[in-house]
Structure 1
Amino acid sequence: MIYDKITENIIGVAIEVHKAVGPGLLESAYQECLLYELRALGYSVKKEVSQPKTYKDLILDNGYRIDLLVENTVVIELKTVERFTDVHTAQILTYMKLGDYPVGLLFNFRSKLLKNGIKRFINTND
């Protein structure tokens, strides 16, 4: 898959950040570190990407907000939680579906070892 190298690099950078700063920070701190490292690798990265959502005739300016979007294809959602829940999975899948993004990575930076706090998703919507 063409996104394997991008996601491999993102995961590598996330593990590097986690090893350097540990599991005790806020999501926003990890977001800034990942943004810095991914841009240093030459990736186009957007932070706090919002997209309006319509409910009947009401336009919700911030229907959702993606933590990081890499190369306009990979959604990154950051968490610092005890463990992932179904809500976290639903959240990233919704972001991917609404934005028609092909790949998503969900990170839990509260994990002792980050490799145990990573989930990768593929958008299977046609």
Structure 2
Amino acid sequence: MISEEFPFKDECYQIIGAAMEVHNELGCGFLEAVYQEALAILLDEKLILFEKEKILEISFRGNILQKKFIVDFLCFNEVIVELKATDSIHSEHIAQTLNYLKATKKKIALLINFGTTRLQYKRIIL
């Protein structure tokens, strides 16, 4: 039996590659919103299916809550992409992204940090 290392492997590589291109061109030091806008341009150029600032519903015991999550990107209708522009990926960023997965029943998220001299990213799998 062949098992995948993680779901949507090729799709994640495409997203990470696009983020690396953005970081290589812009470097670190901008606000998160700048990287979000630049990444949207590159995802579009690369024909990567995405929705920017996607509102996701949260369900609790079969009920849809009024409170919604807004993720930076939902790519390929399956991969949550959360962007940061901080000094490092912190445990609270991981917890936030993990909560997005739990609440939305998605299987994988990418947490991408543009705030350091080298792009940081973490795959979070539920």
Q: TM-score range by the shorter chain?
A: 0.7 to 0.9
Give the structure-1-normalised TM-score.
0.84
Q: Report the AA paired with residue 123 of structure 2.
A: R
Contact 2:52 2:74 in 1 (8 A): yes
SS at match of 1:60: coil
Partner of 2:99: 94
Instruction: Return the letter of the residue paired with 1:19.
Output: N
Equivalent pairs, count: 120
Of the three residues 42, 45, 49, the one matched with 2:50 is: 45
- Corresponding letter in the other structure for 1:93: L
Superposed CA RMSD: 2.1
Letter in 2 for 1:46: E
Among 102, 112, 122, the residue aligned to 1:107: 112
Percent identity over paired residues: 33
For residues 57-96 of structure 1, the aligned pairs below 5 Å read 59-62=65-68, 64-96=69-101
Structure 2 residues not aligned, in runs of 5+: none
TM-score by length of 2: 0.84
Question: Quick one: which amino acid aligns to residue 112 of structure 1?
Answer: T
Tell me if structure 2 keeps the 8 A contact 1:74–1:101. yes
More relative contact order in 1 or in 2 (CA 8 Å, sep 6+)?
2
Mapped partners of 1:60, 1:81: distance in 2: 30
Gaps of at least 5 residues in structure 1 are none
